[in-house]
Structure 1
Amino acid sequence: MFIQSRFIAQAVRALLVVGVGVFSQSVHAMSPEVIEQIDAIHDPIRVDVVANKPVAIHLLGDSGALVGVSFETSGLPFDIALAGKDGTHYRQFLAQGEGRKHVVFMMPDKPSYLAVSSSEAGSLAITQTSMVAEKDLHAPKRSYQSPRLRVLAEKLEQEGNTDAFWQDITKEGTPMVEPGNKGETLLTFLARGAERNVKMLGGPANDIYALERLGNSDVWFRTVSVPAGTLFSYQLAKDVPDFDGSKRARRVAILAKAKADPLNRYPWPTKAPDAYNQSSTFRAGGGALEPWFEVVSEAQGALSHHRIASVELENERDIWIYRSAGFDSSDPDTPLLFVFDGEQFLRKGHLDRSIDALVAAGKIPPLAAVFVSSIDNVVRAKELPDNDAFAAFMAKDVLSLVREELGFSPRAERTILSGSSFGGLGSTTIALKHPEAFGAVLSLSGSYWWSDKGAYSGANMIARRVATHDRAPVRFYLAAGLFETSRGDGFASILEPNRHLHDVLLAKGYSVVHQEFPTAHDMFAWREQLPQGLIALLGSVDANARVVGK
């Protein structure tokens, strides 16, 4: 058997050698008897070939040109190669047919042509699709979205400098704003004088972006186009250290350098110990969001601080109870609002101010708000995503303490759970587990990508739970940012799972309002979205609506 296999292998090799020899002889050694010429790009020619009589096809383009050619052989056994007039074989394109094919190649230094032959008579179509002369093979001139950067680049080519540009930018502030296409706005983030790199943390998509250097100048830039109503915060980092480490370690190294943009006029918070603890902000004109926290109300509420422990959770946390102006504990219709990540919504979100302004403007009735601390990020990630023990803690321990402190028992349908990210997810799962206590959910950028089978499994576990269980007496407000999409680097989409959950809730018969805003995963946006949710749940926004913020 071994001997037989060896003879078969030898025979196959012999046939291959013969085949290659026949091909080489047919298109190289034999002088072409027919010569055709390509006259124009995209103008196909039909070539008739007599069996075993090669044809030469001359192409457009001198040596060094980049050429593209398409062949249509109709399945006949054509051999096509690039050959020199001196018989040199440069490159084989087709062997015994292959049907349709498109090739791209460089024209050789010596005169050459396409050598075409076939063991059978037939015809084929050849089209030269492109030709770029060697003198035109260079990188295209850098283009700039920003008209002002384009002018500056041209000035620098004429040996100008950037002094006047930076004087103007210092007066105007950053990012640089210019009109874009279709009603959008061009934003150019700018930094001056870095040596190796500049990166931005945050921005429209709350990601890490690299700025580009303008030639050899001291200008570093990145231009993006944003729709009306865009709202975000960001920091800049010059000369972020690079080193041999894990992808995550290299990514978070930006935190060593990130701080507020020194040329931006709208820092957040306005008072901070240093620029590292401060961000810069931008708000495009238009849009549905309003900064209610900026409205100073004559009538203000009162805030009290409390501590509550849990034996089952094995921890103790802060809660703050806010009684708005006009709060009436004797009125059973008085709303009660719970806010996860309470310290953040108080200190950075100024939600107490927004509540005062909303009540004073008649947008919502007087209410009580309970700000629940998440303790720290480790506890937060454990308790908020679908945790039965934490849900029971909220429905029993926290609610009992609040009832005792406020002296009233709110109706479930007037009791709202709210939060952002994991807080939005937790608000939904807790309300679905305990609808007897919580009858409304206000979810901001809810992390509905999360699953107990794996954080990025792609399954919308909460939507599936809603679809497969009886409808609960819970109303929903869902908000998400148009920039909260998957980045393809391990960060899941927020926007699509929120849309999916909205559709499932609606199909199941729930009352749900879904709004989308040109914002990112950012407290700077959530502090304006939460008041919108209160108006929707306690005011006059139509239920079962999907609204895209403009």
Structure 2
Amino acid sequence: MPFTPHAHDAGPAGPARAGQTPGPLIEPSPTPGRHRVTFRWRAGSADERAVVLINTLTDRDRHAGDIGGHVMSRVPGTDLLQLTYELDADLRASYQILPCTEIPGTDRDSWLRVMMTALPDPGNPLRVPGSHGRNPSSLLELPGAPAQPYRDRRPGVPEGRVHEAEAAGRRVWVYTPPGHDAGADPAVPSGTRPVASPGAYPVMVLLDGDVWAGRIAPTMDNLIAEGRIPPTVVLLPDAVDRPTRLREMACHEPFVRHLAGELMPWAARGWRVTDDPALTVVAGQSFGGLTASYAAFVAPERFGNVLSQSGSYWWSDEDPEWLTRRYERSPRLPVRFHVEVGRQEWMLLEENRRFAETLAAKGYEVTLAEYNGGHDPACWLGGLAGGLTSLAAGWL
């Protein structure tokens, strides 16, 4: 069924009328371990309706063909729409609200339009940046959600820098820690300096750099200042666009060869990063998690640590869990893993567990972390800090 979105100001202040409605109302539930969460939206017209889009939870029902349980009801005699859920007390999730005059269909095309149209909650100041052209989301953190102590910038903590550059024809952002000494001009041509130098920095390659370039610095600064990790450089290659991302992050060997054979030597020459795989992490989320694991499979001599979050280990449709079987059938490689997945990720949870179990059975050093949340950047930033801390424990 087609739907007609309503136009609203999605700016920081939101529409003036919506400012009268605060963010979600969170109350204890009679059910142990749960909370009642009421979302509210002030309608701009008599025919306006609204749908609550909680990351992964709403999408699960969309896949089942029925989002009726996420449609707000009007409080009689008012312009207020609201909907109450009973949710686990440790849930963390991003969410949006879709104002509309007709409830959208659950087919893929309709849902793609929903994702490009839905808005953050104007009554909730906590935001999660959007990606790939989408609006920001709002952040819901229930009282029992695990702390994310490294997420936000702390006053007085020395700040690193994020530089924008180009490596082998691709845009890349580079986070350098406070006091970083590159020891060379990033523009030095290839072949004029050795690939490694004494005292080189540990390095993390964080895929989908266009998503993370504006978010990673406070986390890295805080981890370094607290002594959880040594000063570390982060390389953030651009995913370019959606078609390129879908091609390159589906166990695409040419992309991995680019990372190992072009990006890493470029960074060693210009940013003084190590060539030691034991001090190198490749990290990613969703298809990026799959690609990080594939990169270590193809180039273990360059990538000795994998940080995978919500990895798409179901891939591919023609040959499900292809990479898991490749690891199972191949000799153990000198690679360590931190695998993280949300318990609400009904399409990925078991696949991530099987991947971690397969690695453990082969003798790999692997940790598996699960959180109460979905396929969600609101969870990934905190998990990224935890995973990097775990992998870097022996670097200090």
TM-score (norm 1): 0.59
Residue in structure 2 matched with residue 336 of structure 1 by the alignment: 203
Q: How far does residue 204 in structure 1 lie from its aligned partner after superposition?
A: 5.7
Counterpart Cα distance in 2 of 1:225 and 1:499:
27
Aligned-pair CA distance for 1:388: 1.0
Equivalent residue, structure 2, for 1:248:
108
Asked whether 1:259 is paired with 2:109, we answer no
1:447–1:494 CA contact under 8 A, matched in 2 = yes
Name the counterpart of 1:285.
143
Closer, same or farther: CA 280–178 of 1 in aligned 2, 3 Å: same
1:527 to partner: Cα distance:
1.5
Alignment match, 1:517: 371
- SS of the aligned residue for 1:293 comes to coil
Identify which range, 252-261 or 497-506, moves more after superposition.
Answer: 252-261
Distance in 1 between residues matched to 2:55 and 2:274, nearest whole Å = 43
Among 170, 173, 176, the residue aligned to 1:320 = 173
The unaligned stretches of length 5 or more in structure 2 are 1-17, 183-196
Match of 1:472 among 333, 346, 360: 333
Give the conservation status (yes or no) of the 8 Å contact 2:201–2:274. no
The structural deviation recorded for 1:318 is 0.7
Are residues 1:191 and 2:51 paired? no
The one-letter code matched in structure 1 to 2:204 is: L
Identity of aligned residues (%): 29
1:461 aligns to 2:322 (yes or no): yes
After TM superposition, the structure 1 = structure 2 runs for residues 111-510 of structure 1, keeping only pairs within 5 Å, are 173-180=22-29, 181-193=31-43, 195=47, 197-203=49-55, 205=57, 207=59, 209=67, 210-214=70-74, 216-217=76-77, 218-241=79-102, 247-255=107-115, 257-269=117-129, 277-296=135-154, 297-309=156-168, 316-327=169-180, 334-347=201-214, 350-451=215-316, 453-454=317-318, 459-485=320-346, 493-510=347-364
What's the CA shift string for 1:440-483, capped at 9, x where partnerless?
000011111111x53xx6x3222111111100110000111111
Alignment-mate amino acid for residue 435 of structure 1: P
Paired amino acid for 2:85: V
Residue in 1 that maps onto 2:10: none
What amino acid is aligned across from residue 211 of structure 2 in structure 1? Q
1:182 aligns to what SS in structure 2? coil
Deviation at 1:509, TM superposition (A): 0.5
Q: How many residues align?
A: 350
Distance in 2 between residues matched to 1:340 and 1:392, nearest whole Å: 14
**Are 1:177 and 1:187, in contact at CA under 8 Å, matched by a contact in 2?**
yes
CA gap of 1:256–1:460, structure 2 versus 1, over 3 A, is closer
Given residue 174 of structure 1, which amino acid in structure 2 is its aligned partner?
Answer: G
Shift of 1:302: 2.7
What is the distance in 2 between the residues matched to 1:226 and 1:494? Answer: 21
Whether the 8 Å CA contact 1:176–1:189 is kept in 2: the answer is: yes
8 Å CA contact 1:240–1:256 kept in 2: the answer is no
Counterparts of 1:294 and 1:506, CA distance in 2: 34
> Which whole-Å CA distance do the structure 2 matches of 1:205 and 1:229 have between them?
15
Q: Distance in 2 between matches of 1:525 and 1:239?
A: 28
Distance change (3 Å), C-alpha of 1:246 and 1:421: closer
CA contact (8 A) 2:41 2:81 kept: yes
Contact 2:116 2:135 in 1 (8 A): no
Structure number with greater Rg is 1
Amino acid of the structure 1 residue aligned with 2:373? T
Q: Which amino acid aligns with 1:199?
A: V
Q: Is the 8 A contact 1:206 1:522 kept in 2?
A: no
| Cα offsets for 1:332-389 (capped at 9, x unmatched) | 5742100001121122xx1111000000011111111111111011100000110111
The one-letter code matched in structure 2 to 1:519 is: G
CA contact (8 A) 1:328 1:366 kept: no
Instruction: Determine the structure 2 residue equivalent to 1:164.
Output: none
Cα separation, partners in 2 of 1:404 and 1:268, compared to 1, 3 Å: same
Partner in structure 2 of residue 529 of structure 1: 383
Unaligned runs of 5+ in 1: 1-168, 271-275, 310-315, 486-492, 542-550
For the residue of structure 1 that corresponds to 2:339, the secondary structure is strand
DSSP-derived class of the 2:270 partner: helix
**Bigger mean CA deviation after superposition, 434-443 or 399-408:** 399-408
Deviation at 1:417, TM superposition (A): 0.2
Structure with the larger strand share: 1
User: Residues 430, 346 of structure 1: CA spacing in aligned structure 2 closer, same or farther, 3 A cutoff?
Assistant: same
For the 8 Å contact 2:202–2:273, the answer to whether it is kept is: no
Deviates more, 1:377-386 or 1:255-264: 255-264
Letter in 1 for 2:361: A
Matched residue SS, 1:294: coil
Report the CA distance shift for 1:351/1:229 in structure 2 as closer, same or farther (over 3 A).
farther
SS in 2 for 1:295: coil
